[in-house]
Each structure stands twice: as C-alpha cells, then as structure tokens.
Copies of this chain bind each other. A is one copy, B any other.
C-alpha cells in the first residue's frame, strides 16, 4: 500500500458527500456554493464542516482549489485538469484546452521531496471588450 492510498483511506460522511457532489456537478464550486447545493438537496452540512472537509480532501490528494479574482476559491477534483484564461478587468474566464505541464510535474515529483497532487495554471490579461473599453477611457 502506497502513501497516497493510505492517506485517502477513510473518508468521513461529510467528505464523501462533498466528493460526490463535485463528481456529479462536473464543474468547480466555491465553498459557499457547495454549502448551498447540499442544503438544497437535503444533505445540509454546517459551513465549518464544508471548509474542514475541503481542506481534508485536499490533503488527501482528492480535491484541488484555484483562487478566483474576487478572493474566493473554486474547488474541484484533482482528476480534473482544466485551466483558464481570466480577464483582469471584468473577471471573465474561458477554459484553455492545452496543458503542457504534466511532464514537468512528473519530473518535479521525482526531483523534489514533495508528493505532488495537482497544479494550477492560469493565464491573465484583458479580454477584447475590456481592452477596448480601457483604451477608450484613457486615450
């Protein structure tokens, strides 16, 4: 039995619910959104438990987080390898298809002493409408 699987071993009820929700929804969700959705489907968890469980899932290598421009975090499963291009002005995000990072991740896993669970790769700039707007404002 390897390290990862022993850490993943037992999940609490709350952790299972959240893992399951992330699996079903397919998209990434904020902690507050997870709280709401569970409440809506009569699986109510305390907000504190949602945060605690998300942290535990991360440490077990099952969940990942990316920071949104507004300061919130979006959570998803580590099996999901999606990345985004985000406008610094309006916050619009569009998905990026390519991901050239896997070979580097493997190399790092061997050379560093870290056990790597996931990576984030995000691009930032201005979307076309915002570029236009900002140029118009500051001639």
Binding site for B on A (CB under 8 A): 3, 6-7, 9-10, 58-59, 61, 64, 67, 71, 73, 85, 87-89, 94, 96, 98, 100-101, 103-105, 107-109, 112-128, 131, 134-135, 138
Contacts and interface: CB of A to CB of B under 8 A. Distances in A.
Nearest to A113: B128
Q: How many copies does the complex hold?
A: 2
Contacts of A101: 100-101, 121
B124 A121 contact: no
Given A71-B71, A112-B94, A138-B7, A89 B59 contact: yes
A112 B131 CA distance: 13
Contacts of A96: 104, 108
Contact of A119 (B71, B108, B122, B134): B122
B123 A7 contact: no
